[in-house]
């Protein structure tokens, strides 16, 4: 008996079978899996420890492997291949790590034990790659990954959700959607559609992310409504390709809108529950500078709180970013979080529209 664990496989176009095991071990069978080429090799370029790897063909005729590309069980990433043998990229599937509510032995942090739809069981009607996995060995998650799998945007965003076809509103968004912190298209009291973030989860948050072409000078315009102004927080961030933010605008639980400037926050004024606010940013990464305007108010200049050569995504999130665990976090924890089943008063934030665009070119004739 050989110590290969968590077997996953897929067929190549020529009929051979590729196998994947923990520790990035792999082999190929020419007889339908009866025998495997030995010695079994560690797949070159695959960084993986004692965690499951999932492999499959995708609906566009390519191949994908999904795994934890680290010595830990976080994050969860996908790599794609044209021929099922050479994988040439690495993209994020699930980078969030929910707070571990219950302690225990071998309670590894992160998204793990990933599986997709095994070949022979059909292709989903939407053509997506569907995955399921455990978070912290507590909650079971499902991820749908659009096919073809890509990480770049071809166009700037012009999302007016009430004008978009039903069911297609978030087709080009990355959404983080929980039972107690949902990110979904809903209609408001007037019947107008919005991307709605609700949050009553004290340990997690709702999140939506829209990618646009990497830019140094551009504008961002968002129409936002908070359902309350005495609890709950919405952060609107502009981030680079690695998810590192340079700009943060916050609708805070004290009823005020803030911009982040280094370790401090500067007030941009108050906001009312149930009222729409248009937030417009003019961004220049070369100057590490942006202006922000709320509705028709005065433009206010701000410095980035972190530099970036270019920025390419707008993120809406109902909580502060998580910085735990780290590589220094102990492997095991045996205590439960206090009030692990608690529920917060629900906060609701609606995004009605988002537009990103290249900065207008200066008129040299003036």
Sign of torsion, CA 78 169 282 218? Answer: positive
Average pLDDT, the chain: 96
pLDDT score, position 361: 78
Q: Are 171 and 298 within one domain?
A: yes
Question: Which pLDDT value is given to residue 262?
Answer: 85
CB 215 within 8 A of CB 310: yes
CATH code of the domain covering residue 54: 2.120.10.10
Nearest CA-CA partner of 223 in 313, 161, 291, 156: 161
Stretch 117-142: mean pLDDT? 97
Confidence of residue 364 (pLDDT cuts 50, 70, 90): low
Residues 18 and 130 in one domain: yes
**Cβ 200 vs Cβ 181: under 8 Å:** yes
Q: Is the pLDDT of residue 288 over 90?
A: yes
**160 plus 109 within the same structural domain:** no
Shared-domain flag, residues 176 and 323: yes
- 290 and 271 both lie in a single domain: yes
Query: What global pTM score does this model have?
Result: 0.96
Last residue of a domain, one of 151, 166, 192: 151
pLDDT value at 188 more than 90: yes
- The stretch 61-88 carries a mean pLDDT of 97
Shared domain for 127 and 252, answered yes or no, is no
User: Is residue 122 over pLDDT 80?
Assistant: yes
User: The domain spanning residue 209 has which CATH number?
Assistant: 2.60.120.560
The string of pLDDT tens digits covering residues 13-28 is: 999 999 999 999 999 9
Cβ proximity of 316 and 235 under 8 Å:
yes
Residue 24 dihedral angles phi and psi, to the nearest 5°: 60, 30
pLDDT band at 365 (very low <50, low <70, confident <90, very high): low
pLDDT for 124 equals 97
Domain boundary among 102, 133, 151: 151
What pLDDT score does 2 carry?
82
Does the structure show a pLDDT above 70 at 36?
yes
- Provide the 10 A C-beta neighbour count for residue 233: 19
Same domain, 143 and 188: no
Out of 1-10, 160-169, 230-239, pick the least confident. 1-10
- Domain check: are 172 and 32 in the same one? no
pLDDT at position 64 is 99
- Domain boundary residue, one of 151, 169, 186: 151
pLDDT at 360: 85
What is the residue range of 123's domain? 1-151
Neighbours of 294 (CB within 10 A): 18
Kindly state the average pLDDT of the residues 227-253: 98
Which pLDDT tens digit goes with each residue over 135-157? Answer: 999 999 999 999 999 999 999 99
Residues 194 and 318 placed together within one structural domain of the fold: yes
258 with 293, same domain: the answer is: yes
pLDDT band at 3 (very low <50, low <70, confident <90, very high): confident
Instruction: Indicate the pLDDT class of residue 253, thresholds 50, 70 and 90.
Output: very high
Give mean pLDDT, residues 107-136.
Answer: 97
CA dihedral 336, 339, 343, 345 (to 10 degrees): -130
Q: Are residues 221 and 259 in the same domain?
A: yes
User: Looking at the predicted structure, is the pLDDT value of residue 330 above 60?
Assistant: yes
Counting the structural domains of the chain, the total is 2
Instruction: Give the CA distances from residue 123 to residues 20, 38, 132, in Å, rounded to whole numbers and listed in that order.
Output: 21, 32, 16
Statement: residue 100 has pLDDT above 90: yes
Q: Do residues 194 and 170 both lie within one domain?
A: yes
């Amino acid at each position: 008996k050989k110590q290969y664990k968590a077997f996953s496989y897929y067929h190549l176009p020529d009929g051979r079978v590729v196998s994947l095991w923990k520790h990035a071990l792999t082999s190929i069978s020419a007889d339908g899996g009866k025998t495997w080429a030995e010695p079994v090799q560690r797949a070159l370029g695959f960084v993986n420890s004692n965690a499951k790897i999932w492999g499959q063909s995708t609906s566009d005729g390519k191949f994908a492997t999904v795994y934890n590309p680290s010595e830990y069980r976080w994050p969860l990433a996908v790599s794609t291949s044209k021929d099922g043998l050479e994988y040439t990229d690495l993209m994020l599937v699930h980078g969030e790590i929910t707070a571990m509510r219950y302690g225990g032995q071998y309670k590894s942090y992160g998204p793990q034990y990933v599986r997709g739809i095994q070949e022979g069981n059909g292709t989903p009607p939407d053509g997506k790659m569907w995955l399921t996995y455990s978070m912290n060995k507590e909650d079971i998650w499902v991820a749908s990954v659009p096919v073809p799998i890509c990480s770049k945007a071809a166009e700037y965003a012009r999302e007016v959700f009430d004008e978009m076809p039903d069911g297609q509103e978030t087709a080009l968004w990355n959404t983080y959607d929980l039972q107690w912190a949902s990110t979904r298209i809903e209609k408001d009291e007037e019947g107008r559609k919005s991307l709605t973030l609700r949050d009553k989860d004290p340990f997690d948050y709702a999140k939506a992310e829209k990618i646009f072409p990497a830019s140094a000078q551009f504008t961002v315009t968002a129409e936002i409504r908070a359902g309350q102004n005495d609890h709950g927080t919405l952060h609107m961030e502009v981030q680079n390709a690695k998810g590192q933010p340079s700009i943060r605008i916050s609708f805070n639980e004290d009823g005020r809108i803030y911009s982040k400037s280094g370790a401090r926050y500067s007030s941009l004024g108050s906001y009312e529950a149930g009222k729409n606010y248009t937030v417009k940013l003019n961004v220049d990464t070369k100057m590490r500078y942006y202006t922000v305007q709320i509705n028709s108010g005065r433009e206010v200049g701000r410095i980035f709180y972190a530099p970036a050569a270019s920025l390419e995504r707008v993120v809406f999130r109902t909580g502060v970013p998580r910085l735990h665990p780290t590589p220094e976090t102990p492997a095991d924890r045996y205590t439960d979080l206090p009030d692990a089943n608690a529920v917060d008063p629900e906060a609701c934030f609606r995004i009605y529209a988002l537009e990103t665009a290249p900065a207008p070119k200066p008129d040299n004739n003036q």
